[in-house]
Amino acid sequence: MPDVAEKSVPKDTRFNPSRIPHTDAAKAIVADVRGQLLNYERYRHTRRRARRAADQERFDRMVSAIVCDLMHAALVDPQGWRHISLSKRHSTDDVGADFMTEDRIKIIQWMVTPEMDWLELEKGVRLAGFGGRQSRIRASARLQERIAKYSIEFEDIGRDPSLMGDPIVLRSEKLRGKAKALEVPQGEPAETYRGEMLRINAWLSQAEITCDFDDDGYPRDVGDRWLRRIFNNGQFDHGGRLYGGFWQRLSAETRLSDIRLNDEPVVSLDFGQCGVRIAYGLADAQPPDGDLYSVPGLSRYRDGVKMVLNAMLAASEKLNRKPSGSRMHLPRHWRIGEIEEAIFRHHPCLHDVCYKGLGTRLQFIESQVLIRALQELMERNIPALPIHDGLLVPSSVVMTVEKIMLDSFKGITGMEGAISTHRKPSVPSTSIPPDDIDGGNNHSSLTSPHKRGA
Phi, psi of 231 (to 5 degrees): -105, 150
User: What is the identity of the amino acid at 62?
Assistant: M
Calpha distance 137→148 (Å, rounded) = 19
Among the listed ranges 45-49, 103-107, 161-165, 443-447, which one has the minimum average pLDDT value?
Answer: 443-447
Confidence of residue 130 (pLDDT cuts 50, 70, 90): low
User: What is the identity of the amino acid at 54?
Assistant: A
User: What is the identity of the amino acid at 239?
Assistant: G
Query: Does the pLDDT of residue 67 top 80, yes or no?
Result: yes
Calpha distance 275→294 (Å, rounded) = 15
Confidence of residue 438 (pLDDT cuts 50, 70, 90): very low
Q: What is the mean pLDDT of the chain?
A: 89
For the entire predicted model, the pTM comes to 0.82
User: What is the identity of the amino acid at 191?
Assistant: E
Calpha distance 423→436 (Å, rounded) = 24
Handedness of CA 320, 326, 330, 331 (dihedral sign): positive
- Describe the chain by its helix, strand, coil percentages, rounded to 5: 40, 15, 45
